[in-house]
Chains A and B, each alone.
Chain A
Amino acid sequence: MKVIKKVLGEDLRQYTMVLALVVLILVFNIISDGRMLTSSNFQNLLSGNAYVLILALGMLMVIVIGQIDLSVGSVAGFAGMVMAKVAHDFNLNWFVAVLIALAIGALVGAWNGFFLAKLGIPGFITTLGSMMMFRGLVIWISQSISVPAPDELRFFGAGYMPEWGPAFTGMNNSTLLLGIIGIVAFIYFELRKYKHSGEISGQKQPMWAVVTRIVLVSAIIAYFTWLYGTGREGTSFPIPGLILLILVIVYHIITQKTRFGRHIYAVGGNKSAAALSGVNVSRTYFLTMMNMSMLAAVAGILFVGRSTAAGPADGTQWEMDAIASVFIGGAAVSGGVGTILATMVGGMVMAVLNNGLMLMGVGADKTQVIKGLVLLLAVAFDVYNKKTGKASIIGRLFPSKETEKK
């Protein structure tokens, strides 16, 4: 036990959800005769859920500031529809269409942010209004007819990285490169942290723990590199997955390493105290809502890319999936608590569950029932553990970096 603690950090409870995810994957893999852990299935898992996970990134920040955004699905649908419409009807270049969609996301976010930050109308009500408005607008501008999207967008929604370089690697070399970069970066940061670890608090962590951690994480990255890299020729780690990965890194840094990130947690934890510490509360509200809608537009674009057309019902109830991911990841309804990485784990639990049940041929009806139960149980377990002071399942992947937040 002590050994494990040394490797993973003091706070083992943060790994409960990760552990649940691993168990879930392995169990489904056994039940489905190994059809879970295949290249193509994991490619599907990422391409098929990237849009929800991207929404969850923004939703986490919204929930941390103590608000909720119900309009993300409608906004995603609206941005995607406008993009398809302008590209189709006015023959605009796909790139311009994408920019227009992102701009719409920003505008809608500013709209939501204005009502929340400047007029003080709770986010729930503001975004309930937007949810109806933009759902209506999607149907209005599309007249309930699906619009085909530019072909180039397919690359973002369902594309793969190119094949290149030597063939002896036996896998997609783009994926291989990505994996190598991941491993090298992890080793670099671990060693740097190791170097700094003794300087202030006086106690250096043991070298063997660092090495074990490096070996463990590298093995995991290597395994997934192999899994994604050895799929059917022409496939690789999927582009939507790559976009997600980049966004996760960017948002992890924003929330943990920037002043704006700290402001989000401060506002969610205690608004008045934050205001008295020099945090511009209404600006924080505004930017968080704006960011959410922009990510909604990104999600909408990816989805349209994957679907090859924008439909009038796109985005229906996506907000619910995003919110569920955030709460399974251990965020608090009252705000101030939650992390990007834990949210991603929460989202992946939902995605793997969905995927595994489909592989087993379970229908959509029963899948819904099971997903609902899992959400409830995960949060109940979390609340129960917090009450009794025992382990909490708020997952944080790398607690050695950030042990402070519970």
Chain B
Amino acid sequence: MNENPLILEMRGITKEFPGVKALSDVTLEVTRDSIHSICGENGAGKSTLMKVLSGVYPYGSYDGQIIFDGREMKFRNIKESEQAGIAIIHQELTMIPELSITENIFMGNELTKSGLIDWNEQRRRTVELLKKVGLSVSPDTLIKHLGVGQQQLVEIAKALSKNVKLLILDEPTSALNEDDSANLLELMRGLKEKGITCIMISHKLNEIAAISDAVTVIRDGQTVESYEVVAGQVDENKIIKSMVGRSIENRYPEHTSNPGEVIFEVKDWCVEDPEVEGRMVCKNSSFYVRAGEIVGFAGLMGAGRTELMRSLFGRNYGIYKSGTIKLKGKEVKLTSVEAAIENGIAYVPEDRKNLGLNLLDSIKKTIVSANMKKILTGGLLDSAKELAASEEYKKALRIKCKDVGVGVSTLSGGNQQKVVLSKWMFTEPDVLILDEPTRGIDVGAKYEIYKLIHELADQGKAVIMVSSELPELLGVVDRIYTIFEGSITGELMASEADQESLMKRMTVTSA
């Protein structure tokens, strides 16, 4: 009876939240032993669909049918879906950092012998599982000592320990660097061969294109398209078109910069790692940015891009060792974030939720938070000025919200990023540093952010953009520096660069 070619069928799934229809009549068919990608903008309903599938939303709270492995399933909780052979790996890793790999893998499913944990058996099996996912570390290693990519592999090993038939990966590479991502995709191919079906939710079209056997696109809670593809020959533009419901002829807006004087210049910048004495995270970095110019920084994760930017931004990171900053030709000492802001530097951090926003705050409080001096009246904050300022940015950046008084936590990723950008534009900076400004944002919103960056440059601001997506850098910026292990390894005009030439400089030292 297992000769049904479909391992999973979801028919007519409808899920409503108070006031919102998150999913309406969604159909998903997944072929046995395939890699099936689900794409869609943020908020399209991908995660909700997966939560329905894995039993987070129990049977009865949605309409429709789930047929898994030939039988109709009525999961009441995650435990039941796990028993049926469905495992989900979330975007945020759920490992306990202070425990070992073995302990984490068997957390909640400990093997016991006469009431006590059978450590030997657990360890033996962990070694086996780690071999399967291609990880060669001791099973007793603590999770906190693993890199993000390795942790992801342990998550998958954990899923494998439960005899999984269907593995769901929710944006598995969003926190990984290029190498680890490639590794992971390779692993997924291997799993497919071993008879494990994978569903991957991803924004990264190149990854989808590389490994998918089928693609389903969801938009506004509905299935838009679902078709089989041949891995390696996927039409990315077709996917984008169905995701946003319109065709994006060019993913990057046209723009010509008119660079002026050099207004931001860094010389021989050296910063020590605050945790490891003697380890330098920035080594004699020197670069400059002109007014009205957009400069990109390309580097793999851990190359020291973020560390460099944060140390420049009022020594927010690391231990300053040496180096100078010149603003408009004058040397400045920026020993605090406050001083950096006062001198016209703004920094939009890469980790929006943890570093960019206070999720308890409202939109208007966030927008003014980095420059409250501007809304003071007689020494006190003036709520009228605050409202006026935030309404202005709401209009200018087309922030979608009911009211600027609502909390930022109610906004989508793209709109949150617009609020963060507003906050820094409100400080009227001369130099704007954007660290991964489009991470976790859907295609439509990305386009708007790119346009905004161009506008800022047109206003004569110096813009620095850090990104690990090379096409993005090539499409948006004027000039690119590459970073490898804390050193600047190259400088290229965007018009003359391509992905290979950049990657070469990002992985080897030019010396």
Contacts and interface: CB of A to CB of B under 8 A. Distances in A.
Given A199-B384, A259-B381, A404-B405, A270 B337 contact: no
Contacts of B359: 269-270
Given A196-B384, A259-B372, A276-B349, A404 B341 contact: no
Interface string A232-264: 000000000000000000000100111101100
Interface stretch (B264-272, B287-295, B363-371): B363-371
Interface in B303-338: 310, 313-314, 316, 336-338
Contacts of B313: 276
Interface in B345-392: 347, 349, 354-362, 364-365, 369-370, 372-373, 376, 379-381, 383-384, 387-388, 391
B446 to A, nearest CB: 22
A406 interface: yes
B369 A389 contact: no
Nearest to B380: A257
Contacts of A167: none
Instruction: Give the dominant DSSP class at A's interface.
Output: helix
Contacts, number: 94
B369 A277 contact: yes
Nearest to B381: A257
B388 A265 contact: no
A198 to B, nearest CB: 11
B262 interface: no
A336 interface: yes
A274 interface: yes
Interface in A172-221: 196, 199-201
A262 B384 contact: no
Interface string A144-179: 000000000000000000000000000000000000
Interface string A324-349: 00000000000011000000000000
A15 B407 CA distance: 20
A404 B362 contact: yes
Given A200-B391, A277-B337, A280-B336, A272 B381 contact: no
Given A278-B341, A403-B405, A273 B388 contact: no
A262 B388 CA distance: 18
Contacts of A258: 379-381
Contact of B373 (A259, A261, A402): A259
Interface string A370-406: 0000000000000000000100000000000111111
B115 interface: no
Contacts of A277: 337, 369-370, 423
Instruction: Give the dominant DSSP class at B's interface.
Output: mixed
B278 interface: no
A34 B57 CA distance: 53
A264 to B, nearest CB: 11
A201 B387 CA distance: 8
B388 A336 contact: no
B405 to A, nearest CB: 4
A136 B376 CA distance: 45
A259 B365 CA distance: 11
For A199, A273, A389, which residue has the most chain B Cβ atoms within 10 angstroms? A273
A398 to B, nearest CB: 12
Given A275-B316, A275-B337, A200 B387 contact: yes
Contacts of B362: 404-405
A266 interface: yes
B381 A401 contact: no
B387 A276 contact: no
A333 B406 CA distance: 22
B142 to A, nearest CB: 23
For B355, B358, B388, which residue has the most chain A Cβ atoms within 10 angstroms? B358
Given A196-B384, A259-B372, A404-B406, A266 B338 contact: no
Contact of B355 (A262, A265, A272, A401): A272
A405 B384 CA distance: 16
Contacts of A262: 365, 369, 372, 381
Given A259-B372, A278-B337, A278-B370, A336 B358 contact: yes
A12 to B, nearest CB: 16
A270 B354 contact: yes
A319 to B, nearest CB: 25
Contacts of B387: 200-201
Given A200-B388, A262-B372, A280 B338 contact: yes
Contacts of B108: none
A270 B358 contact: yes
A289 B378 CA distance: 26
B18 interface: yes
B337 A276 contact: yes
Contact of A266 (B341, B355, B358): B358
For A261, A276, A336, which residue has the most chain B Cβ atoms within 10 angstroms? A276
Interface of A: 196, 199-201, 253, 256-259, 261-262, 265-266, 269-270, 272-280, 336-337, 389, 401-406
13 contacts: A200-B388, A261-B381, A269-B358, A270-B354, A270-B359, A273-B349, A276-B337, A277-B370, A279-B338, A404-B362, A404-B405, A404-B406, A405-B360
Given A270-B357, A276-B347, A278-B370, 20 more contacts: A200-B391, A253-B380, A258-B381, A259-B376, A262-B372, A262-B381, A266-B369, A269-B358, A270-B355, A270-B360, A273-B356, A273-B357, A274-B358, A276-B310, A276-B355, A277-B423, A279-B338, A403-B405, A404-B405, A405-B362
